[in-house]
């Protein structure tokens, strides 16, 4: 029997990089869903899982014989979910909220194999401490456009010389956008294994641990 293809239901370049560096062969077919499609009282972790499932299900009619991987990342500021900012104003507002706080990054991951009636999902949470940011720093970052497509309006990989994040606990790759330790387990249960050896800087940081970064 032919091995099914792995279909990534995401346009995120960070998720693509993580899968490539983990040795997976896959095709990219972003799902087209309404990312605001969830009840107003739903908690961030539930939102992430719901949207990941909706993304995966959206591709089932097109790829019924393959394995579909979908994920959604939400930043939780208490019980308030912060998704991807729609514009510069929203990005700046999110960064002002997160500045000087410890918040949670949660990613929902879903894997479907329709031909086998296989469906599995999980969520992974990591704690992140962000240093205090000045209004000038926020404005300078927002002007770069690097906030686009990133939950909470920032990426942990941004600003290496003077990082926003001073400490994190949990999965580093989860904060980037795809918790690889959990994703590998889900894909293996669906019959998908890496076709190459893991390589790259992201792959080296996939296990759960605490990282103390500069400028604490």
pTM of the model: 0.82
Long-range contacts of 23-28, Cβ-Cβ distance < 8 Å, separation of 24 or more: 23/194, 23/195, 23/196, 23/197, 23/198, 23/199, 24/187, 24/192, 24/194, 24/195, 25/195, 25/196, 26/69
Query: Assign residue 110 a region: left if phi > 0, alpha if psi is -120 to 50, beta otherwise?
Result: beta
Which of 34, 72, 158, 162 is flagged as catalytic?
A: 72
pLDDT tens figures, 154-191: 887 665 556 788 898 999 899 889 999 999 999 999 99
CA pair distance 9, 69, nearest whole angstrom: 6
The mean pLDDT of the chain is 87
pLDDT tens figures, 143-155: 999 899 888 898 8
CA pair distance 4, 64, nearest whole angstrom: 10
Whether 37 is a known active-site residue: answer no
CA pair distance 141, 145, nearest whole angstrom: 7
pLDDT tens figures, 68-84: 999 999 999 988 898 88
Domains of the chain with bracketed CATH? 6-205 (3.90.950.10)
Please count the residues of the chain: 216
- The token duo for 2 is 């032919």
pLDDT tens figures, 26-54: 999 999 988 777 888 899 999 999 999 99
Predicted local distance difference test score (pLDDT) of residue 203: 42
Q: Which run of H or of E encompasses 45?
A: helix 44-58
């Amino acid at each position: 029997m032919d091995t099914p293809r792995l279909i990534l239901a995401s346009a995120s370049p960070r998720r693509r990089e993580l899968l490539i560096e983990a040795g997976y062969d896959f095709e990219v077919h972003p799902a087209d869903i309404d990312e605001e499609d969830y009840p107003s009282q739903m908690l961030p972790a539930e939102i992430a899982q719901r949207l990941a499932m909706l993304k995966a299900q959206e591709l089932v009619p097109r790829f019924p014989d393959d394995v579909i991987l979908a994920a959604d990342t939400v930043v939780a500021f208490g019980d308030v979910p912060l998704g991807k900012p729609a514009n510069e104003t929203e990005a700046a507002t999110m960064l002002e909220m997160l500045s000087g706080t410890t918040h949670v990054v949660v990613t929902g991951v879903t894997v479907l194999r329709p031909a086998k009636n296989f469906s599995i999902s999980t969520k992974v949470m990591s704690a992140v401490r962000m240093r205090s940011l000045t209004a000038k720093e926020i404005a300078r970052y927002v002007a770069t456009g690097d906030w686009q497509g990133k939950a909470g309006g920032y990426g942990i990989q941004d600003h290496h010389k003077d990082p926003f994040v001073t400490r994190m606990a949990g999965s580093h790759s989860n904060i980037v956008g795809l918790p690889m330790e959990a994703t590998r387990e889900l894909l293996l249960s669906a019959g998908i294994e890496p076709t190459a050896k893991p390589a790259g800087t992201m792959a080296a940081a996939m296990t759960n641990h605490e990282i103390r970064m500069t400028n604490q």
